[in-house]
Amino acid sequence: MQFQNNLEFARQLDAEDSLGKYRKEFHFPKVDGKQVIYFTGNSLGLQPKRTQRFVDEIMTDWAELAVEGHFHAEKPWWDYHEKLAKPLAKVVGAKPEEVTVMNTLTVNLHLLMVSFYRPTAKRFKIICEEKAFPSDQYMFASQLRFHGLAPENALVELKKRDGEHFWRTADIIEKIKETGDELALVLLGGVNYYTGQVFDMSKITKAGKAAGAMVGWDLAHAVGNIELKLHDWNADFAAWCSYKYMNSGPGNASGIFVNQRHLNKKDIQRFEGWWGTKKESRFLMKPEFEPMANADAWQISNAPVLSVAPYLASLEMFEEVGMEALIAKRKGIVAYLEFILHEVEKEVESTFEIITPEDRGCQLSVFLHGQGRSLFDYLMNNGVITDWREPNVIRLAPAPFYCSYEDMFRFGQILKKGILENV
Ligand SMILES: Cc1ncc(COP(=O)(O)O)c(C=O)c1O
C-alpha cells in the first residue's frame, strides 16, 4: 500500500481498521488533558476497562463469602487459574494441558530450569543471547553457581557480527552444533527486548533438540505480539509475563509452557507444592505428591487470584479478537510508523537508524543519530510515552489493540517539531 503522511489518510486507515473499536476499551493516561500516544505496550500494556469488573468480582466474593469463596464463588478460587489455560494455549500455540499461569516470570524461569537444566560433567553448557535481559543474566549466573559451575565456563553467549545489530540464525545454529554434546540448554528471548528482533524459534529449537539439549524460551516480548507455535516447534518449555502485550497489570501473573512429553511424570526434578498435586486428593492432605497430569504440576502455592483475574479479563479480549487479526493490524501499524519515521527524516537534519531487523513484531528500536536524551524528554512532555535505552535508543512499540494510525501520524508531527526546535 502507498502510505501518505497526512491526517486524512491516517484517519482513513483507522476507519478501515476492524480492531479500531477496541481502543475505547482501554484507559489511556493523559498529558495536559489529552490522551497520550502510548508506545510502551512492550513494557506495561494499558489497562482494559473490563479488568476492574474481574477484580471487583473477587473483592466482592472475598467480602461476602470469605473462605467460602474458594469453592462457592461464582468463579471458585481454588481452580480459577484453570480457566486461563484454553485461551492462553491459543495465544502461544500449545495444547491447553501444556500451559498454566502462576508466579512471575523470572521465578518461573528459575523453576523451569530446576526441571530442564540438569547439568552433567559432560553436558553442562547453556546458550543464551549476549546482553540478555538483565534478570535473565542474573538467573543464569545464579543457577550455574547453584550447580557449582562457573558462568565463565558454562555460559555461551551468542554474539552478533561486528557492525550488525541482529543475530543471524545460521550463526546461532552453528554455535549450537559447535557446542555439541556439551550443550545442556538453549534459552533465549523469543523477541529480543532491546532490538525487537524475532528469533527463528522453529529452526533454533530444531537445532537445539538435534544437539541433544533442552530448549526453552523467555517469551516476555513475544506473547500477544507474534505468532507462536510452541507445541509444533517442539520447545521443551517457555515462560512469559502478562503485563506487556497481554495487558494484565504491573508485575502480574506469568504463564508457562511445558511440552506434553514432560507431563505426567513423577520422576522429573521439580520444586513442588500443594497446588501441583492432584486436585481430587489435594485436600486429603496426604504426604505423597501426586502430580497433576498437566502443566499445573509446576504450581506450588494456591493461586493469587487477585493477580490472575486481570489476566483472565485480558484473555477474554484475546479470545474475541484472535492473534491473526492482531498480527495483521500490527504489521500495518508498524509499517506505517516506519514510513512516518522516514518522512520526518526527510525534513530534518538528524537521521534515524532502525536497528530492528525485518524479523520483527510490534517494536521498532530507533537509534537517534545527532539527537539525545533531550529529544526523548521532549516526546514525554508532549504526550508521547516511549522509552529510552542507553546509549541513544528509543523503543517504539505500538500495540495493535489500542494504538491508532492517527497516533503514528501525530507522533511524526511531534517528533519533527521536537527536532526542529533543536531540543
Ligand atoms: C525479556 C525479559 N525477561 C525477564 C523479565 C523479567 O520479568 P519479571 O520481573 O516479571 O520477572 C523481563 C521484564 O521486562 C523481560 O523483558
Cβ 140 vs Cβ 126: under 8 Å: yes
Q: What is the mean pLDDT of residues 221-233?
A: 98
Q: How many angstroms does the Cα of residue 286 sit away from the middle of ligand 1?
A: 36
Instruction: Give the range with max mean pLDDT: 13-27, 350-364, 376-390.
Output: 13-27
Lowest mean pLDDT among 107-116, 249-258, 365-374, 395-404: 365-374
**In the chain, pLDDT over 70 holds for what percent of residues?**
99
Q: What is the mean pLDDT of residues 123-152?
A: 97
pLDDT at 265: 87
Atom 12 of ligand 1, nearest CA residue: 220
Which position has the higher pLDDT, 374 or 190? 190
Q: Which of 380, 336, 397 is nearest to 41 (CA)?
A: 397
d(CA 366, CA 419): 15
Q: Is the pLDDT of residue 422 over 90?
A: no
Cα-based distances in Å from 164 to 31, 159, 317, 353: 37, 10, 38, 12
Which residues, 6+ apart, have CB-to-CB distance to 300 below 8 Å? Answer: 102, 103, 111, 271, 272, 273, 274, 275, 276
Atom 8 of ligand 1, nearest CA residue: 105
Cα-based distances in Å from 181 to 116, 121, 123: 16, 11, 6
Average pLDDT value over all residues in the chain = 96
Q: Name the residue with cell 497516533.
A: 407
Atom 7 of ligand 1, nearest CA residue: 105
Counting atoms of ligand 1 from 1, which one is nearest the CA of 106? 11
Residue from 107, 111, 133 whose mutation best tests the ligand 1 pocket (most atoms within 8 A of CB): 133
Could you read off the pLDDT of 406-417 as tens digits, one per residue?
A: 999 999 999 999
Counting atoms of ligand 1 from 1, which one is nearest the CA of 43? 14
Residue 293 DSSP SS3: coil
pTM: 0.97
5: phi then psi, degrees, rounded to nearest 5: -95, 65
Residue from 106, 112, 198 whose mutation best tests the ligand 1 pocket (most atoms within 8 A of CB): 106
Counting atoms of ligand 1 from 1, which one is nearest the CA of 189? 1
Could you read off the pLDDT of 9-58 as tens digits, one per residue?
A: 999 999 999 999 999 999 999 999 999 999 999 999 999 999 999 999 99
Q: Is the pLDDT of residue 349 over 90?
A: no
pLDDT at 85: 98
Q: Which of 4, 72, 57, 82 is nearest to 342 (CA)?
A: 4
- Sign of torsion, CA 75 76 77 79? negative
Q: How many angstroms does the Cα of residue 251 sit away from the middle of ligand 1?
A: 9
Q: How many angstroms does the Cα of residue 279 sit away from the middle of ligand 1?
A: 30
Which residues, 6+ apart, have CB-to-CB distance to 352 below 8 Å? Answer: 341, 342, 344, 345, 366, 367, 368, 369
d(CA 179, CA 211): 8
d(CA 376, CA 386): 8
Q: What is the mean pLDDT of residues 320-342?
A: 98
Residue 154's pLDDT band (boundaries 50, 70, 90)?
A: very high
In one-letter notation, the amino acid at residue 290 is E
Residue 266's pLDDT band (boundaries 50, 70, 90)?
A: confident
**List of E strands, 163-226:** 183-189, 214-218
pLDDT at 389: 84
pLDDT at 390: 80
Residue 423's pLDDT band (boundaries 50, 70, 90)?
A: low
pLDDT at 391: 81
Q: Which of 158, 231, 155 is nearest to 189 (CA)?
A: 158
In one-letter notation, the amino acid at residue 186 is V
Q: Which residues pair with 196 in a beta bridge?
A: none
Q: Is the pLDDT of residue 370 over 80?
A: no
